[in-house]
Amino acid sequence: MSLRHALLAVLTAEPMTGYQLVKYFDGTVVFMWSAPHSQIYPELQRMLKGGLLEAEVVPRGRHAEKRIYSISGAGRAELRRWAEETSPYQSERDPHRLKAAYMELASPEAAREQLNAHIRHYRERLGIWERIVEDIDDRRIPLLRQRLRTHPADQYELIVEAKRFAFQGEIDRARMEIDWAGKGLALLDRLHRSAGASGPVAASSAVEGGA
Amino acid sequence: MSLRHALLAVLTAEPMTGYQLVKYFDGTVVFMWSAPHSQIYPELQRMLKGGLLEAEVVPRGRHAEKRIYSISGAGRAELRRWAEETSPYQSERDPHRLKAAYMELASPEAAREQLNAHIRHYRERLGIWERIVEDIDDRRIPLLRQRLRTHPADQYELIVEAKRFAFQGEIDRARMEIDWAGKGLALLDRLHRSAGASGPVAASSAVEGGA
DNA sequence: GTAGTCATGTAAGAGGTTACATGATTAG
DNA sequence: CTAATCATGTAACCTCTTACATGACTAC
């Protein structure tokens, strides 16, 4: 139940509306977790009902309202419990690794294109995550600044370094995936050059996709 | 729908019963995909109904029967289609990375223990995967041997290297995770040495920023 | 006989995706 | 006025996990 804890964790920086939480979690890669609004709103309702959150209803314009959620004592306790406990590991299940294992089923062009797409994907993610680490270092992330404002100074370094460390993991992962796919392209080159045979294929596997 | 394609892929090596497939997929890390029998049996039924598989009913002892599934022409076509297509990437969602981002919520001991558990977990996986790569190289994997038997010799190298490549990816991943967790332990050492004592860390918080 | 393996299911529920839906507010 | 943004939901569907269930066969 990580969505619940991700929501609780974000709300310890400052109270906010479901919409604001949606903006943080929906469709972005900025966080360690993503979720669409169709998942967030019901979860907030459940958490409210469960006493993990409190909601303040405030007017918005003349006819509309919004709810500002804040974490309750029970919510903080639950978050703490989650932080202390070691979570289980389930088996890796990566569709791209699976497909790589059965490369022989695809045409060489398709196999190459998939590895290039892998590289493009992780290069993009890499750029995003590197940028975030810079933003963390320069304290350019509003929510982080807010969190530092609401926490004692002797925790600043740990709070910042923890975020940095987590995103560094994503960066390491992206680099690893790029290297791995590169090895796959080299492998295809080697096999198709040596096989030389009747393939309608040729072409070297220069890694495509810049950025 | 990767389970379906993993099943189809395995069945291109040789026809087998649901139970045999369960043995390959259930609880083991041997493959790129894992699934419990409660997922496999219904999926086989759906695939049979959908014409992707054929089933031969053979007697087992005096009163029992079993079904031996084999991949059909339509199944091969579907597998080929899957192999050719580039599959989409969804966002990473790793609970352990999330928790790392909010390390300040846990006691230093709990944080350290979680990173150590991370290292233990991936070391174990690393050992398993390294062993599998050895077994691939030495042709000690029955299903791979069977696959080679039923495929033309000019595909041997690609078939073997594809499997090797995929597991190499898991090995790279495991090494990366071990290194990453090591950096986390070093970070905790540094912060708690400089911070001074063994006092508990923050009581609350979370955070991070959006784009 | 009995334990372990072979063999095959169903069901409840959690978590996630995609689509369907609505309406107010604000900036131009 | 109109588009973008703020704000909040529901529903159908798929995948995966966990638990409940059953029974025959084989080696000891």
> For the CA atoms of A172, A175, A180, A186, what is the dihedral angle to 10 degrees?
-160
**Protein CA B149 to sugar C1' D4 (Å):** 62
How far, CA to CA in Å, does A7 sit from each of A10, A15, A42, A44? 5, 11, 12, 8
The answer to whether A42 contacts chain B (CB < 8 Å) is no
The answer to whether B65 contacts chain A (CB < 8 Å) is no
- Band of pLDDT at residue B1, cut at 50, 70 and 90: confident
The answer to whether A120 contacts chain B (CB < 8 Å) is no
pLDDT in tens, A147-160: 999 999 999 999 99
Q: Which residues are CB-contacts of B62 (< 8 A; sequence separation ≥ 6)? A: none
- CB-based contact B67:B15 (threshold 8 Å): no
Nearest CA in chain A to B29: A91
Question: Is residue B196's pLDDT more than 60?
Answer: no
DSSP assigned state of B104: G
Question: Which nucleotide is closest to the Cα of A17 by its C1'?
Answer: D7
Q: What mean pLDDT is reported for chain A?
A: 91
Q: What mean pLDDT is reported for chain B?
A: 90
Residues pairing with B70 in the sheet: B54
| Number of neighbours of residue B209 by Cβ within 10 angstroms | 22
Rounded to the nearest 10 degrees, the angle between the axes of helix B2-11 and helix B37-49 is: 80
Chain A hits for B156, CB-CB cut-off 8 Å, are: none
Q: Per the CB < 8 Å rule, is B89 touching A121?
A: yes
Which pLDDT score, from 0 to 100, does residue A101 have?
A: 96
Round to whole Å and give the CA distance between B199 and A75: 23
Nearest CA in chain B to A24: B210
- CB-based contact A159:B205 (threshold 8 Å): yes
pLDDT in tens, B15-54: 999 999 999 998 665 678 999 999 999 999 999 999 999 9
A2, A98, A121 member nearest B33 (Cβ): A98
- CB-based contact B112:B186 (threshold 8 Å): no
pTM of the entire structure? Answer: 0.91
The answer to whether A202 contacts chain B (CB < 8 Å) is no
How far, CA to CA in Å, does B158 sit from each of A106, A171, B70, B77? 11, 30, 23, 20
pLDDT in tens, A171-182: 999 999 999 999
pLDDT digits (tens), chain A, 211 positions: 899 999 999 999 999 999 999 999 986 656 789 999 999 999 999 999 999 999 999 999 888 999 999 999 999 999 999 999 999 998 889 999 999 999 999 999 999 999 999 999 999 999 999 999 999 999 999 999 999 999 999 999 999 999 999 999 999 999 999 999 999 999 999 998 765 554 444 445 556 554 4
H or E element in which residue A129 lies: helix A108-137
**Protein CA A41 to sugar C1' D10 (Å):** 11
